[in-house]
Amino acid sequence: MKTILIVGLILLIGTVLLGFQKTNDNNMNKQGKSPIMKEEPKNLKTATFAGGCFWCVESDFEKVDGVVEAISGYTGGSKPDPTYKEVSAGGTGHAEAVQVRYDPAKITYEELLDVFWRHVDPTDAGGQFVDRGSQYRTAIFYHDEEQKRIAEKSKAALEKSGRFSQPIVTEIVPLGEFYTAEEYHQDYYDKNPLRYKFYRRGSGRDQFLDRTWSAEAKQTPAAMNPGNDSKYAKPDDAVLRKKLSPMQYKVTQEDGTEPPFDNAYHDNKKEGIYVDIVSGEPLFASTDKFDSGTGWPSFTQPLVPENIVEHEDRKFFMVRTEVRSKHGDSHLGHVFPDGPPPTGLRYCINSAALKFIPREDLEKEGYGEFSKFFEATQTVN
């Protein structure tokens, strides 16, 4: 699936690569790869993980407090200086992997392992989710004996926990040569947010993680920033009745529907994000909003997919897919398969379930991490 996506977008990617070429020539190696990692400051350490698609693994780790940088690349095989085409075709022995540079004063290697386990399927020996083959296997590449000891202890604890009914097949092996991937793969989620989210949604990764870790957040409270359970919570009913307007309460707590066109955000064209009126968790962004003509705010995809829960809704003699918030458990609306590209989806959401945070107020309101998203989107556009 990833290869098909790249082929389909080859002209666009070629244009981007040409733009990068002039500024990166002095740092590129003879294979046209991205700059080799700079020498690390003494206080930073490095960990290396393989978890399938490195776009996703890099994105997950770069959201972790204490991680300075995550770099996509290839390791675990025998072919020197492999290219993406060679690795993705299989036969090189390499896996897509990510090197994580982190500050041990803020996060430990053991905590990084916890993040890793919560973002992969460690029981799948044939790849990860939609990406199949040993090049998409899971692995922990240790840099020294201490990392090996901690990784083996962490794996044993996961096996003992009974979280998975199948054996944990993730390898724990010494790190060999790590080859940095081509520049267009670095920070792919940031450079191409819409294409990345389209791929990730279709890969099945988040759906599996939601099922596996449904009793707790995939992010560990000590390590992760966005979607932290301790940050977003549903107040008790007495507080909600005071906080919410009658319409907001009816929609979010009683699964109601507001009138079309006569609501706050159906024609809002300002830049910013939409959060749950109950919990404050981030849900949608203006960059994914479109005019569906229905009279309700409509989006092609969520801003934070982990904060969206979908349920089958059989009310009113029809079958629909209801959309609720994860932490606030607010009724938001429904999702329909009749939206525009790139997802073909229409998230039809009640304004009464939302609070709009303008782009200029993101930092002040505590959503500063999403400012970068708008800057990245402008760069891509």
Are 155 and 38 in a shared domain? Answer: yes
pLDDT of residue 198: 83
Stated pTM of the model = 0.51
Q: Give the pLDDT of residue 214.
A: 63
| Cα 294 → chain centroid | 29
Instruction: Say yes or no: 344 and 302 in one domain.
Output: yes
Q: How many domains does the chain have?
A: 2
Q: 40 is written with which tokens?
A: 């690390």
Do residue 74 and residue 172 come from a single domain?
A: yes
Catalytic annotation, pick one of 53, 57, 71, 273: 53
Q: Is residue 218 part of a domain?
A: no
**What would the pLDDT profile of 110-143 be if each residue is shown by its tens digit?**
999 999 999 999 999 999 999 999 999 999 999 9
Structural domain that includes position 49: 2-212
Structural domain includes residue 290: yes
Q: Which of 56, 348, 349, 353 is catalytic?
A: 348
348 a catalytic residue = yes
* Cβ count within 10 A of residue 36: 13
In a domain, residue 223? The reply is: no
The string of pLDDT tens digits covering residues 212-222 is: 886 454 444 33
Side chain identity at residue 79, one-letter code: K
E strand intervals along the chain: 45-51, 67-75, 95-102, 127-128, 131-132, 138-142, 171-174, 179-180, 272-276, 282-285, 289-290, 298-299, 308-313, 320-325, 331-336, 346-349, 354-358
Q: Please indicate, yes or no, whether residues 243 and 206 belong to a single structural domain of this protein.
A: no
CATH code for the domain of 56: 3.30.1060.10
Cβ 265 vs Cβ 351: under 8 Å? yes
Residues 197 and 254 in one domain: no
Whether the upstream peptide bond of residue 35 has omega within 30° of 0, thus cis, is no
- What pLDDT is stored for residue 344 in this prediction? 87
Residue 56 annotated as catalytic? no
Residue 221 included in any domain: no
pLDDT surpassing 80 at residue 93 = yes
Predicted confidence at residue 317, as pLDDT, reads 78
What b-and-e string marks burial along 171-190, b requiring 16 or more CB atoms within 10 Å of the CB? Answer: bbeebeebbbbbbbbbbbbb
Digit-coded pLDDT (tens) for 23-58: 333 333 333 344 444 455 568 999 999 999 999 999
pLDDT digits (tens, 9 = 90+) for 135-166: 999 999 999 999 999 999 999 999 988 889 89
Who's near 240: CB < 8 A, 6+ residues apart? 234, 249, 252, 253, 278
**Residues 254, 180: one domain?**
no
Based on the fold, state whether residues 150 and 57 are members of the same structural domain: yes
Kindly state whether residues 208 and 262 are assigned to the same domain: no
